[in-house]
Amino acid sequence: MKQFTMNLPTLKEIEVKVFQQLQVMFADLMVRCLEQIDQWIMEHRDHARYRLRDIRQVAMSTVFGEITFKRRLYQDREKGTHVYLLDQALSFDGQSGISPHLEEWAVELATAGPSYHEAARQMEKLLGYRAISHETIRQRLISKAEQKAAVPKEKKPAKVLFVEVDGLYTKLQRTKRRHQENKIAIIHEGWKRHGKRTQLRNKVHYLHKDRSVPFWEGFGDFLIEHYDVNEETWLVVTGDGADWIGECESYFHKCIYTLDRFHVARELKRYLRELPAHWQAARQALAAYDPQALMAAVEAVPVDQLSSDLHEGWERFKAFLRQHENHLIDYRKVLKANGLEVKGMRPMGSAESQMRTFAKRTKRGGYSWSVRGVQAILQSIILRKEGRAGCKGLELTDVREEKSPIRISQLMKKPKEFTTGVINGMLRTLQTSKQSSPLGMALKGLRG
């Protein structure tokens, strides 16, 4: 018994070997599926439009390892171009050398962070082979982030939109400027309960990229693309008091600009923490949305009781509050006075928490970026937060050969038969693959 026990592999060794053998088996299965689908497309294509020109071999990295398969090249008589119908039908670019699923996984890991190198390392550790380099991940992330976002087919009607605006400073490299402020707006339609937590409803993000255009002009174009807005639509904008944020009032017909109370409370606490009575009075006035009481509490603070190193900063902060006294109001009172229902509306001020995700990826570890690189990673984070990171559906643009999306109906005369034909082909392939037992192959690999 001891002899048998000593010769048995560990559970980890069994798990690794079984996984490797399954990778080999599934890679072979995937190749057969792809080639059967390509054969089916050839037989059912629109022969009048697509002329078969060649059969070419392509290598592609997948989660099963690298696979090599053959696919057919056609000439499109209508457009005078050459196209791989298999690529168009299955929404992938065979020339990229990476499967869509593997690419999306790599971009997802890189977006979550902490780095492109770590994303490549994690994938290699799990898959057992170097599937993709960190530089390729970076290039794919930038390429995906720079793709033009699809404009919604139907615009959402909105009486009130809430806008949280903030700027994120990042270090730059290979440029005369050492830093760049990336201006971001988070637009939502209110709040909803999710268990014990409260979430922003229908949240979307606007990242300002074109520095030749003022922020609020670019934001206005974005707003028109996504919402059915007019002169009766109210915007409730919250920011930290930066001059460029305050310009919103001159751009929109009905706009309520309020200071982010998180920043105000943080500064008040920094200056008044050694004066608890004054801090308590100021905090209560801020919580009650009473600008006059807040300013009275601030003016009542004895400056000589503050630390000498805080005097100059305190005077600047008081001047800042005086300048923004009208922006310390409760926006709900304004909306209610104009006949709008304010039930369920909450205090604004979630910009800081929303920006932490962006800051964590772009500022951790002292990273410095190119302008293009930082905009790409921020856009990729936005796509991830909005659940738009992956490609869905059968409509996709092949950037090499086509400038507009191609649908299945354009590839063949009888598009309704496509799904049935593909499924039947895959079932036949799966039926054939049952002749090889996965367990038998795995155990054979262990014995070897």
Q: What is the mean pLDDT of the chain?
A: 83
Among candidates 255, 205, 203, which has minimal Cα distance to 233? 255
Among candidates 54, 43, 42, which has minimal Cα distance to 85? 42
Q: How is residue 440 written in tokens? A: 């038998």
| 158 pLDDT higher than 90 | no
Q: Where are the alpha helices (DSSP H) in 248-370?
A: 261-272, 276-287, 291-299, 311-323, 331-337, 351-363
Q: How many CB atoms lie within 10 A of CB 327?
A: 21
Q: How is residue 114 written in tokens? A: 């902490």
Residue 117: per-residue pLDDT: 92
Residue 352: per-residue pLDDT: 77
Q: Mean pLDDT, to the nearest integer, of 99-114?
A: 91
Among candidates 113, 88, 103, 114, which has minimal Cα distance to 404? 88
| 432 pLDDT higher than 80 | no
| 433 pLDDT higher than 60 | no
Among candidates 35, 33, 36, 40, which has minimal Cα distance to 414? 40
- Binned at pLDDT 50, 70 and 90, residue 350 comes out as confident
Residue 424: per-residue pLDDT: 62
Q: Mean pLDDT, to the nearest integer, of 115-141?
A: 90
Lowest mean per-residue pLDDT among 212-221, 329-338, 405-414, 423-432: 405-414
- Binned at pLDDT 50, 70 and 90, residue 429 comes out as low
15 or 422, which is more confident = 15
| 347 pLDDT higher than 60 | yes
pLDDT in tens, 167-214: 999 999 878 888 889 999 999 998 988 888 888 888 999 999 988 899
E-strand spans in 39-90? 50-62, 65-76, 81-83
Lowest mean per-residue pLDDT among 7-11, 66-70, 377-381: 7-11
| 1 pLDDT higher than 70 | no
- Answering whether pTM is above 0.95, one says no
Residue 395: per-residue pLDDT: 36
Phi/psi for 180 (5° steps) reads -140, 135
Q: How many CB atoms lie within 10 A of CB 267?
A: 15
200: which strand partners? 191
| 129 pLDDT higher than 70 | yes
Q: How is residue 33 written in tokens? A: 């599926």
pLDDT in tens, 307-330: 889 999 999 999 999 999 999 999
- Compute the distance between CA of residue 384 and CA of residue 391 in angstroms, rounded to an integer: 12
Phi/psi for 235 (5° steps) reads -115, 125
| Residue tagged 């139907």 (tokens) | 154
Q: How many CB atoms lie within 10 A of CB 363?
A: 15
| Residue tagged 């309704």 (tokens) | 416
86 or 430, which is more confident = 86
Q: How is residue 382 written in tokens? A: 């936005």
pLDDT in tens, 236-280: 999 988 999 999 999 998 999 999 988 899 999 999 988 999 999
174 or 77, which is more confident = 77
| 157 pLDDT higher than 90 | no
Among candidates 82, 73, 69, 77, which has minimal Cα distance to 41? 73
Q: What distance separates the 2 farthest-apart alpha carbons in the chain?
A: 90
Helix %, strand %, coil % of the chain (to 5): 50, 20, 30
Q: How is residue 435 written in tokens? A: 């002749």
| Residue tagged 């909306």 (tokens) | 335
pLDDT in tens, 370-382: 888 999 999 999 9
Q: How many CB atoms lie within 10 A of CB 170?
A: 21
Residue 406: per-residue pLDDT: 45
The CA distances from residue 434 to 31, 34, 423, in Å, are 16, 18, 17
pLDDT in tens, 19-51: 888 888 888 888 988 998 899 889 888 899 999
Q: How is residue 364 written in tokens? A: 């951790």
199 or 438, which is more confident = 199
| 4 pLDDT higher than 90 | no
Residue 199: per-residue pLDDT: 85
Q: How many CB atoms lie within 10 A of CB 293?
A: 15
